[in-house]
Amino acid sequence: METISDSNSAKRRQVWNQGGLPVILRRDGKGELLRLRLPYAEDNRQWLRNGRIRRPKWSDDLSCWEIPKAWFNDFVDRSLQRFGAVYVIQPYREQEKCAPACLNATGHECQCACMGANHGAGNDGSWFEVTDTFACRWRGRELACRLMVARQ
C-alpha cells in the first residue's frame, strides 16, 4: 500500500489528476460531500448512483463528482471490483510518542521512541502523560493518499 502525506502535495495532486484509476477525497467536515474522479465512461453517473434515490452531483468548477459520505465503503468496494484499484485521499493525524523522563531530561543521552526530537523540551501542555514511561500527543490534521489494490 503506497502512502503519500502532506509533505508531498505535488504527488497527491498528480494522483488526483491522473485518469487511469478512480480517486476519492474523503472529507471530514460536517455536511461536506466526498469528491471523486473516475476514468471516463458513459455510464459513470448510473454506476455511482447504483440504484439509490440520491444522485451523484457533477461539479463543473472542480471537474469531479460529489457523493454522500455514506457511500464511501460501497464506492471503494465497487471500484476495486471494476477497476482493480482505487486511490483514497483522507485526513489523518499522526501520533507522537515520547516519555516524561525524556521530555524532562537534562542530559544528552536519549533512548526514547522520539529519537531525541523532544529531549529536554519539557511538557508544554500538549503531551498527555499516560504513565511515568509513556506520553503521547496528536499532530495537526494532514492529508494522506493510499493506493488500495484488489486482492487476487
Give the model confidence (pLDDT) of 8-46 as tens digits: 678 888 999 999 999 999 988 899 999 999 999 999 999
Q: With bands split at pLDDT 50, 70 and 90, how would you rate the model's confidence at 55?
A: very high
Q: Which alpha helices (DSSP H) does the chain contain, by range?
A: 9-17, 44-49, 72-83, 100-103
> Which of 4-13, 59-68, 90-99, 126-135 holds the top average pLDDT?
59-68
Q: How wide is the angle at C-alpha 95 spanned by C-alphas 91 and 98, nearest 5°?
A: 165
Q: Are residues 35 and 85 in the same domain?
A: yes
Domain count, the chain: 2
Taking a C-beta distance cutoff of 8 angstroms, is the pair 75, 26 a contact? no
Q: Are residues 36 and 70 in the same domain?
A: yes
Tens digit of pLDDT for each residue in 107-144?
A: 666 667 776 777 788 888 888 888 777 878 777 777 88
Q: Are residues 89 and 14 in the same domain?
A: yes
Would you say the pTM of this structure is higher than 0.95?
Answer: no
Domain around 50: 3-93+141-149
